Amino acid sequence: MAYCLNAMKLSPQLVVHERDPIKRGLLIALIIFVTMASGYLLYDYGHSRSDYDFTALQVQRGELQDEINRLLTQVENTRDDLVANQRSTEIEKLAYAEVNSSLGELQSEILELKEEVAFYRSIVAPRESSRGLRIQKFDIVALGQKNNFRYKLVLTQVIKNTRITRGNVVMQIEGVNGGKSKQINLTSLSAKAQKKLDFRFKYFQSFEGDLVLPKGFIPSRVHVKVSSNRVTLEKTFAWPTGLFKTSAL
């Protein structure tokens, strides 16, 4: 018995607290309410914030679209200006080309007129040394087809009493064919083949025609002989090499 009493004295004191279920339920309800209220407030804040951001994005999008439209309009205007400038440049180039072409034609015409004036002046007002029958000009011009040429011979006469002179012309082409020297009558190579050309004139007369050289024939020069009722003239012209006009030897 004494042992039991001593054991009771040595054991700690047990305290029993009574739990109130109503308070516990209220505490849980309060926690749930606070949690829900906090969630709602966060949701409402997020929703309002998202509405604000969406509105701001819409405004910014509208501003960007306006800027894009402005830039597109500027690009379109710039492109129209470039097209107009290109057309203007092309028109100017065409105009310049036409002007240059016209100037070239006018210069050629002026040169021809100067040559004609010099030609007629040599007949009307000749030098003392140029009086009488003359071989004024001889040209050979290459045509488009191979071995096709055009020749032109001009004879003039300047005498005080302007008498009519008559005679004939013989033109011989000298060259090489198959390694051998060969002479060919120039007029025999034209459409109207003939050995000589007859002339009869008071001031001047010209002869011209087309000719076709034989295959393999390499010309070197042309010998022109003019025989009239008063005088005989002879002159040799080199066959043009890379040039259209011949030169007298």
pLDDT, mean of residues 79-86:
85
Q: Tens of pLDDT along 186-222?
A: 888 887 777 889 999 888 899 998 999 998 899 999 9
pLDDT over 90 at 107, yes or no: no
Q: Are residues 153 and 89 part of one domain?
A: no
- CATH number for the domain including 166? 2.60.40.2420
Q: Are residues 184 and 237 part of one domain?
A: yes
DSSP letter for 40, please: H
Q: Which residue has the tokens 């302007």?
A: 162
> Considering 99, 125, 151, which residue would you say is the last residue of a domain?
125
Phi, psi of 175 (to 5 degrees): -170, -160
Burial 172-185 (b: 16+ CB within 10 A, else e): bbebeeeeeeeebe
Q: Are residues 183 and 243 part of one domain?
A: yes
Out of 39-43, 47-51, 61-65, pick the least confident: 47-51
Asked if residue 169 is part of any domain, the answer here is: yes
Q: Assess contact for 157 and 204: CB atoms under 8 A.
A: yes
How many structural domains comprise the chain? 2
Q: Tens of pLDDT along 2-31?
A: 444 454 444 455 554 555 677 777 778 778
What average pLDDT does the chain have? 79
Q: Are residues 164 and 118 part of one domain?
A: no
> Considering 97, 125, 153, which residue would you say is the last residue of a domain?
125
> Considering 84, 104, 125, which residue would you say is the last residue of a domain?
125
Give the integer Cα–Cα distance in Å for 53 and 50: 5
Global pTM exceeds 0.85: no
Q: Tens of pLDDT along 168-178?
A: 999 999 999 98
Q: Are residues 154 and 109 part of one domain?
A: no
Residue-by-residue DSSP string for 108-158: HHHHHHHHHHHHHHHHHS--GGG-EEEEEEEEEEE-SSTTEEEEEEEEEEE
In which domain, by residue range, is 48 found?
A: 23-125
Asked if residue 4 is part of any domain, the answer here is: no
